[in-house]
Amino acid sequence: MHKNKIYQKSLKDLNTFSIDVTAKKIIFVRSIQSLINICKTCNLSNIPYIILGEGSNVLFLENYKGIVIINRIKGIKVKEQINAWLLHVYSGEKWNDLVKYTLRMGFFGLENLALIPGCLGSAAIQNIGAYGLEFKNICQYVDIISLENSKIIRIKKDLCKFSYRDSIFKYKYKDKYAVLAVGIKIYKKWNPIIFKALLKNINITEVNPYKIYNSICQIRKKKLPNVNKLGNAGSFFKNPIISKKKAKKILSLYINIPHYLQIDGSIKISAAWLIEKYNFNNIQIGDAAIYKKQKLILINRKKAHPKEILKLAEIIQKSILKKFKIWLEPEIDFINAMGRIKLLKNI
């Protein structure tokens, strides 16, 4: 434990929403044994603790009474098969650093997930996705560790219950477990995933993994706020998935609404479109506001209080429910003084 840095300061720089709250202690861990030791001490002393990577998908609601453990357990192991590369990546690695690493190594297939914030741990928990690719498409397994008995368990992909921004790690393996590493399979035969916005920038005959990566980086930088200038946690709400019957009714009223058919027959609706269509007229609660270029993102202009962000989110939820009869579910995690909490119908 002596090798870990221990701080007693604000969490402002450790969450992308830039919420200025404090923790009892902030500890950066760089080894599995250090993580085990700290969690064991917390369990014995009954001290609450929470594990974060980049703090990119959370909203702290108040000062945290326990220890915030920052996961910096890093490492990438590569095995070569005849037709694929197998990567074992530790959960403290930054996702975009991994994408850049694979491009440097000539392993092609992750480029559509360029510039997504956060670490590998949250990639698995959230089942991150963008531009036709999701984490579940390249995942082989997820290694988790029990923070009570230090046992490492390998969960095969088929048992991870991956779905839209969801996984078993949000439920069964949420408390007293931590994601330790993930297994990723990248096939040597590259099959590019092409999307409309890409073809505006690249000629179809000139498509290669590097051009896709650079194009997506350009798109994301134009569309998404820089976390160093405007605090945010990316998409605040999930795109709602509704029944075919309900979708048919809405599509008859709003023919231009972006929608996507799901495997089970349900329909995913664009939450950003719903918020855009409602036209909130630059609504702002204190320093909390809707980002103009991407309406799914709520921003902290400077010194927003968590209650201001929650109030803004609540106004959006109630307004969308009233107009479209659709409830927007938050995508981010909420953390109070004792840990993660679930905010359901009323936030």
Among the listed residues 165, 167, 215, 308, the single catalytic one is 165
In the 3-class helix/strand/coil scheme, how is 241-281 assigned residue by residue?
A: EECHHHHHHHHHHCCCCCEEECCCCCEEECHHHHHHHHCCC
Which CA distances in Å does 17 have to 11, 117, 287, 333?
10, 12, 12, 12
Six-digit token pair at 24? 């009892």
Q: Is the dihedral of CA 282, 118, 328, 62 positive or negative?
A: negative
Q: Is 329 a catalytic residue?
A: no
- Across 115-230, the runs of DSSP E, i.e. the strands, are 129-130, 133-134, 139-146, 152-156, 177-187
Q: Is 235 a catalytic residue?
A: yes
Among the listed residues 111, 215, 235, 308, the single catalytic one is 235
Q: Cβ atoms within 10 A of the Cβ of 45, count?
A: 8
Exposure b/e, 160-196, CB count within 10 A at least 16 = b: bbbebbbbbbbeebeeebbbbbbbbbbeeeeebeebe
Among the listed residues 93, 111, 134, 331, the single catalytic one is 331
Helix 271-278 to helix 306-324 angle (10° resolution) is 90
Say how far apart CA 256 and CA 258 lie, in whole Å: 6
Say how far apart CA 213 and CA 198 lie, in whole Å: 10
Q: Is 165 a catalytic residue?
A: yes
3-state secondary structure (DSSP) of residue 155: strand
> Which residue is associated with the tokens 């030791």?
37
What are the catalytic residues?
165, 235, 331
